[in-house]
Amino acid sequence: MILDFFSKHKLSRNYDGRCGNCHTPFDSTDDEFCRYCGTKRGEGKFLPYENFQGCVYGPPPVKRTHTCDNCGYSWDTRRMIDRSGYCPRCGGTISTVKSDHE
Ligand SMILES: [Zn+2]
Ligand SMILES: [Zn+2]
């Protein structure tokens, strides 16, 4: 039972290519800032985190277009849940436009 618990709640300290604060993987090696919490690459608390795969079932992902208010960098995502709030290039705040249809 204890083994079962640990296999389901695997804690990881692997921060390769991940945000040191919220452990979200960076989408691109060009990203200098976490787009979810605005933490600079290589900074953060680097706490152990629960390494699990998100649910793969559900409605199709929603397309969102994010544009940086500061430098104008723009990118699209297709995810069910996307809490992007910061520009990965400069760490500035972003505007998000959601479109259910392409
Ligand atoms: Zn982060
Ligand atoms: Zn920017």
Q: What is the pLDDT of residue 44?
A: 97
Per residue in 17-27, pLDDT tens? 999 999 999 98
Sign of the torsion formed by the C-alpha atoms of 33, 82, 71 and 30: positive
- Give the C-alpha separation, 71 to 87, whole Å: 8
Rounded to the nearest whole angstrom, what is the distance from the C-alpha of residue 25 to the centroid of ligand 1? 8
C-alpha dihedral, 58 to 64 to 69 to 71, nearest 10°: 110
Q: How far is the CA of 94 from the centre of ligand 1 (A)?
A: 15
pLDDT tens-digit readout, 41-69: 999 999 999 876 555 566 778 899 999 99
Confidence of residue 90 (pLDDT cuts 50, 70, 90): very high
71-87 tens-digit pLDDT: 999 999 988 889 999 99
Give the residue-averaged pLDDT of 7-36.
Answer: 90
Which of 11-15, 35-39, 87-91 is predicted with the least confidence, judged by mean pLDDT?
A: 11-15
Distance between Cα 3 and ligand 1 center (Å): 30
Report the alpha-carbon distance of residue 18 to residue 21 in Å, rounded. 9
Backbone φ and ψ for 5, nearest 5 degrees, come out as: -60, -45
pLDDT score, position 100: 73
